[in-house]
Chains A and B, each alone.
Chain A
Amino acid sequence: MNENFLEIKDLKKSFGSGEARQEVLRGMNFTVKRGEFCVLLGPSGSGKSTLLNIIGGIDTPDEGFVSINGDKLEEMNESQLTLYRRKHLGYVFQMYNLIPNLNVKENIEVGAYLSDKPLDVEEVLTTLGLQDHKYKYPNQLSGGQQQRVSIGRAVVKNPDILMCDEPTGALDYKTSKEILALIEDCNRKFGSTVIMVTHNEAIKYMADHVIKLRDGVVRHNDINETKTSAMDLEW
């Protein structure tokens, strides 16, 4: 966990033009090490989702760069970026975005299909506690169960980086903790680097690395010496 796996350098991004122009990222710098559980913390409008999208290669910065394992994203064309996402990234969103007419197992297979080194789908189902629900369709599941499936779809790829955008934003307290525990579990078990965007302050205690954003810049960049397990978090 020593090398700088992800490097963010002088990243700037703005939306709109003229008077309506709004700078969302105003020169952001930090690095993340391989296997780290990194939490991007900040209030609404701090630029954390934009940052995550740029790291995920689905948005582009105006200035600066993102480098993963030494490869700069802005030097990649569209198909290379697709390949990058395919090989290295797993995505978990606040909304689960599952495919309605595929069952739980098949939704997870959608992720597995993309990977050269996928995890065993059954094992992922067990880890996520979805064995009893694997033949159900998304609309037969609760919100928490749907988010588990969404995590399963992301981790089954065995991605280098697991990107989580407010994964508990739509969930209740108890379910949120369960989901966080799962992500923590995946980080530990499968060794993926996790970058999680949240506005929930309590979540920072389970992270290795906490980056606090405000008004488009990094306000704090802290390494947690001691972590709290997800199930022990309180908010």
Chain B
Amino acid sequence: MRNPLIKRIPRELKSDWHKYLVIIVFMVVMIGVISGMYVGHDGMLEAVYSGREVLNLEDGRFELSKRASQEMLDAISTGEKADVREYYINKGIEEADKEVADAIEEELDSQVESAIEEAVRAQCEAYGITDEDVIKEQIDTAIDASYDEAIKEARESEEFRTAAEDAYKEAHDKVVEKVDEEWDKVADRYNLNDEFTPVKTVIYEHFYREEEEKAGSHTSNVRIYRSDSEIDKASFLEGRAPESSDEIAIDRMHADNVGIRLGDTIKVGKKQFKVVGLLSYVNYLTLHESNTDLMFDAFGFDVAMVTPEAFANLKSRIHYNYAFKYVDAPADRVEKADNSGAFLKALITQSLVFDNEIDDYLPEYLRQASNFAVSDIEGDSAGTAILCYILIGVIAFIFAITISNTIDKEASVIGTLRASGYSKRELVVHYMSMPVVVTILGAVIGNVLGYTAFKNVAINLYYESYSLPTAYSVWSNTALVKTTVIPLLLMFFVNLFVIVKKLQLSPLRFLRHDLSKSKRTKARRLPSWSFLRRFRLRILFQNMPNYGILMFGVVFIELMMCFAFGLPDSLNHYADEAGNMMFADYQYMLMDYRDEDGNVIETAEKTAEPFLATTLLYPKKESSFRTGMGSGGDESVTVYGIIDNSGFINLGSSLKEGEVLISSAFSKKFGIRKGDTLKLNAEYENKSYEFKVSGSVDYDGAVAAFMDDTSFRSVFEKEEDEFSGFFSKNEITDLDEQNIATVITSEDITKITVQLTHSIGGIVGIFKYALVVLAAALIYLLAKIIIERNEQSISMAKILGFKNKEIGSLYIIPTAVVVTVCSLAGFAIGFYLMIRIFRVFMLQMDGYFAFFLKPASAVLAVVYLLVGYAFVSILDFIRIKRIPLDVALKNVE
């Protein structure tokens, strides 16, 4: 015979359908969204991973200041370090030889001339010629006539050969001696003495140009690659690769954002191109223009593909970018880091000996553009899963309280069943079935929706932000575990714990309704307030566990509210402040301070002021790294050398050598204060610098440090006339594009906000309202429990003559007070936590961006929740009104 108690489950579901509907919808949405996220994200990742193979993703890239010779590329690809000692010796010998040769020539010349002069003077004397003018004339004639012969003779003499050999030898010995003397310093600088295993690579030319792209009124920067590239290829979401010199394929995400369609014509540089393809480059899943960018920028930056002919026709300078792949693929991140370190040593030494300069180096595993999306997708789902578990935990507790309440209500029945022979286990199983059934129901419906509707929502969300290839549909075990197994276990154990604890009591105590654990004999004494106030206080004490859960839920929701309001507020605030953040309207970074002809670059722009700059690294704490998260490692710090009486940065007069001012962003991000010592490391050399922080400059736009130009030159060994670029109040029009490396304007600062607003704007809006619904649902469930628990008392109060309004005030006001207090406290806690969370998040990224919440948003964050509660209290009042009088009179179990 089947246990007849099973029949209670569907009836319970039916009779209390509002409650269970709220819970199931809650779970379906949560589980569905998470499941959709996982399925979408697994499908997406699958597409990304397979793309890495098929499209031949690089293992890293480097950019040189000039095109590398084949010999140099061959040398780099061996992975061997160049013989730097030999290079310095050879270079020294070359210079020494020149000097010795010059010296010998001079000496020989003077010796031969002296010998001829001596011989002529002797002859003149023999002939009795004393006139000095005649003698000089004779000497000149003799030199003209026999100089070459004499030189030849001298050169062939044994004496000369010995002397020259000695001179060369001495010079060479000196060079070797000097190199050896300096060797330790050099070796240390290039890490030449470290243990080293060469890593063989295949190197690909992967040149690009950067041009201005104009599509309608929108202008952006486009990085253009050739269509015949064998590395870092693209997959086409629409259209095809360019085939003629007036065709171009551009990034799908950029086209989406800017509104470019297939078949449109865009202007790139000075040429018109027809857009024939929308692509996703395997190394540009996010459009990060620079690896140090805080956020990608699909509005202002684009990547494109043109034919080799079209590439040759473009006018902007070629970036001599090379991509490499390891011959033996590294197994993991550790190996990738080791390989990258070894490769960099080879690259640095080889470029040194081949007289080339490294402009940029980036191993793929640190590349934001190919790792940011992947890591963000993973981060998203992990974050959402945690949210889901918190909410399911809250639901589990609500369930547990509901069941605990039901057990209280059914105490006599339970006592009777236990007395009749039902075992504790059977009753635990019985009371456990409802949460398990509801969770399974929620999980099944949620998963079905996850694999259908929500998957596409998730994928579209990713497409809104990233330049991803077409996603596959894959079965996700992670989704199953995280959306079904974990919630089920969470629900199961929370309820099991509460139910088992509750059913521990003896049958007799159930029969006697003696269910309280504490043996408190005295009631809590209350102040001599009015009867109604004391009554309310008693209700508050009676429902403490419910209010505890409510408190937790409200704090959680307020935290989310702070996020939902704070993110757009922070973005807007940052965008509004961007103009003020710039200390110069234009910052021109030059390729070099001299042009191709060796002349120092100048400008006629009156407001232009030269500055010096270099990039150093500020080491972050290991704990703040986020695996796979773009540049992850150290923070890039731009160190500026500012001229005296600068019109842009006021250094004050007290800045001494070795002292710097840091930007306010730098100070806030890492909590660096005046008087601290700042240790910064060189990017590609094993060199570090220490500075004393003597104050900060109000500049939130970037992580930067400022020092005077004299100190800068001495610290970074710069020439007297050397500089890195210009600050300017106006656009500088007389600089040759070829010489400009980058221009930084306020748009570069706001691009992050434009991108983020586009990517998350819509979702955040929906999120706010979802939170109100969530808050209302949570309060609804808990308030319902409080009223259900007191049905008999409410009914009795009605019999005694209390009006519905009075009863309403008794039972609704305590909850209202708790909700209001919790909302305010929750907001304060949420706000504080959000600032912390934001800071931790910022530490993982490059750059700085502070959390900001408008006062109006702070008010709204609380008001929204209270509005949600207002609806619930109306429902509560209706519920109180509907409680019949006979509940207190009849023995209706």
Contacts and interface: CB of A to CB of B under 8 A. Distances in A.
Interface of A: 53, 56, 58-59, 79, 82-87, 89-91, 93, 95-102, 106-107, 109-114, 118, 138-139, 143, 153-154, 157, 170
B874 interface: no
Most buried by B among A98, A100, A109: A100
Interface in B690-735: none
Contacts of A157: 420-421
Contact of A56 (B1, B5, B419, B890): B419
A166 to B, nearest CB: 12
Nearest to B890: A139
Nearest to B5: A110
Interface stretch (B208-216, B224-232, B505-513, B862-870): B505-513
A44 B110 CA distance: 144
A123 B420 CA distance: 20
Contact of A59 (B11, B417, B508): B508
Given A53-B508, A97-B893, A138-B892, A79 B423 contact: yes
Interface string B851-893: 0000000000000000000000000000000000000001111
A96 B891 contact: yes
B422 interface: yes
B265 interface: no
A49 B486 CA distance: 47
Main secondary structure, interface of B, reads helix
B420 A90 contact: yes
A114 B417 CA distance: 10
B421 A95 contact: no
Contacts of A84: 421
Contacts of A138: 892-893
B418, B419, B892 pick with most chain A CB within 10 angstroms: B419
Interface residues of B, number: 31
A87 B413 CA distance: 19
Sorted nearest first, the 6 A-B pairs with minimum C-beta distance are A86-B421, A97-B416, A85-B421, A109-B4, A97-B412, A101-B11
A98 B891 CA distance: 10
B473 to A, nearest CB: 43
Interface string B749-787: 000000000000000000000000000000000000000
Contacts of A107: 4
A53 to B, nearest CB: 6
Contacts of A109: 1, 4
Contacts of A90: 420
B92 to A, nearest CB: 94
Interface string B402-430: 00000000101101111111111000000
Contact of A139 (B419, B424, B892): B892
A91 B420 contact: yes
Contacts of B508: 53, 58-59
A190 to B, nearest CB: 16
Contacts of B7: 102, 106
B532 to A, nearest CB: 32
Interface in B1-54: 1-5, 7-8, 11-12, 15
Contacts of B890: 139
A85 B419 contact: yes
A62 B525 CA distance: 36
Contacts of A101: 8, 11-12, 15
A99 B424 CA distance: 17
B507 A86 contact: no
